[in-house]
Amino acid sequence: MDAKKRERYEKISDRLTELVGGKDNIQGVAHCATRLRIVLKDNDIADLKQIEGVDLVKGVFVAGDQLQIIFGAGLVNDVYEVFAERSNMKNMSLSDLKTEANRKMNPIQRIIKALSDVFIDIMPGILAAALLTGLSGVLGNFQFIENSDTLFGITKLINIASGAIFGFLPLAVAYSACKRFGGRPILGIVMGCIMLSPSLADAYAAAQGTVDVETLHIFGLGIDLVGFQGGIIVALLMGVLTAKLDIFFEKKVPEVIRLLVSPLLTTLVGAILLFVIVGPIGRGLASGITNGLVFMTQNFGAIGYAIFSGVQQLIVITGLHHIFGAIEAQLLVDTGRNFLNPLMSVAIIAQGGAVLGYLVLNRKDNKVKELCIPSFISVLFGITEPALFGINVRFKFPLIGGCIGGAIGGLVVYFTNLAALGFGTTVVPGIALADPSNNGYIWYIVAHLIALACGFIITILLGLKNKVNN
């Protein structure tokens, strides 16, 4: 680094130090590909508006309890070198910085942050599956696709690709969770393979009673050999458990046999705990939450609808929403109409509105655009994981805005008596399933536009309030 550049970076560093509250307010410094990341004792002291005007700064925001200052690729390395040196924070890694930031969070914030970290790693796969699922849903509605062997074949391959990604999502979650909590990622993959083993009865088929389930008896306990398709919360728990077991056995097993025995014990103990403890708890939680939500919507009228559509996307965060398919199928058999589908659909589009609200608040940030735009597109096809875990859960207030927008959309669904005649698709492709009676198609569009607008507006209001408070 030549003297002229160094002098410029020293001026930038000194100015930043002043604007963040001085050296005494700095707990840690690191950088990623484009941003200087600083953990402060008190974020309220930092003057974000003044920092935006500092030489070479392209943007600034607070996320994950870190002050993140955008400089750009390459440049940030040089700025960090000088800033860290002058603030006596040299040689701190990004992992060290995250650990420092986590210490400032309360237990709930840490859980949400850990959950977000798990899904950030597998976001590209989720996003690919989301867009492929949406494309498959749209193409499947055209007759000319079925009349063309080539187009039908391509559509079929798209459907297989998207279904495969989501079908093995528990495996990906177990891998990412194991990695996030310090275990060897390959052991998370192994545990995910056990959860989805073809030797187990398919979870969806078992829920519908279309397959015989084998039961083992171990120490007097009956253990049903059912797979964990859609068991995201079980996968999360098993990923964490596998990581802890791996760390434990790596410390306790003698080095001379560690390479062989440690992964063996981790996998064996983990598999036993999966079927005896973790799996039943996860399934019980899924069943309890689902039955409670259905009871609420059927007995509490408009309030029940609003609560269901308001919290439904929180259920998506846990992965428990996959069991709704069996309930929707039963609703169609019993009543001929599926009231859950439009409720879930407005909850989804409201989260998309929240993504757009966050995009407007951060419209100058190209990185935000790169994340928000494809996430919103996937929402239009009924897939919210990219939006939830890439944006809304990470920054909290968009999630709140989306939930409130979903609740308002749920009220519209109740008062217009919206329902679906099928299940399996929502939002834009979902209009094909809407019950056309009582102008159902029109009210379907209206309900979604209202939920979208409310999620959008409330997120902007919450975001502006956060900026004022900061």
Residue 323 has pLDDT above 70, yes or no: no
- Using the predicted structure, report yes or no on whether residue 165 has a pLDDT greater than 80: no
Section 91-96 average pLDDT: 57
pLDDT at 423 over 90: no
- Give the pLDDT confidence score for residue 110 in this predicted structure: 65
Confidence of residue 127 (pLDDT cuts 50, 70, 90): low
pTM for the whole thing? Answer: 0.57
Kindly list the distances between the CA atom of residue 66 and the CA atoms of 236, 239, 391, 393, 395, in Å, as whole numbers in the listed order.
25, 26, 16, 16, 12
Out of 157-171, 265-279, 341-355, pick the least confident: 157-171
Respond yes or no: is residue 403 known to be catalytic.
no
* pLDDT at residue 94, rounded to an integer: 54
Residue 296 has pLDDT above 60, yes or no: yes
**DSSP of 369-391, one letter per residue?**
HHHHHHHHHHHHTT--HHHIIII
Total Cβ atoms within 10 A of residue 135:
18
pLDDT at 404: 96
Q: Distance between CA atoms of 62 and 23, rounded to whole angstroms?
A: 18
42-89 pLDDT, tens digit per residue, is 888 888 888 888 888 877 777 657 888 878 777 888 898 899 888 877
How confident is the model over 401-429, as a mean pLDDT?
Answer: 90
pLDDT tens-digit map of 360-386: 999 888 878 877 888 898 899 888 877
CA separation for the pair 422, 247 (Å, rounded):
47
- The confidence score (pLDDT) of residue 116 equals 63
At 12 the pLDDT is: 92
Q: What residues does 218 pair with on adjacent strands?
A: 221
Confidence (pLDDT) at 96: 57
- Alpha carbon distance 106, 270 (integer Å): 29
Task: Output the CA angle 206-208-209, nearest 5 degrees.
Answer: 60
**340-350 pLDDT, tens per residue?**
889 999 999 99
- pLDDT more than 70, % of the chain: 83
Residue 442 has pLDDT above 70, yes or no: yes
Question: Active-site residue among 32, 178, 403, 454?
Answer: 32
Contacts of 335 (CB under 8 A, 6+ apart): none
Q: Any residues with CB less than 8 A from the CB of 365 and at least 6 apart, and which?
A: 59, 61, 70
pLDDT tens across 221-255, in order?
A: 888 898 888 777 788 889 999 999 999 999 999 98
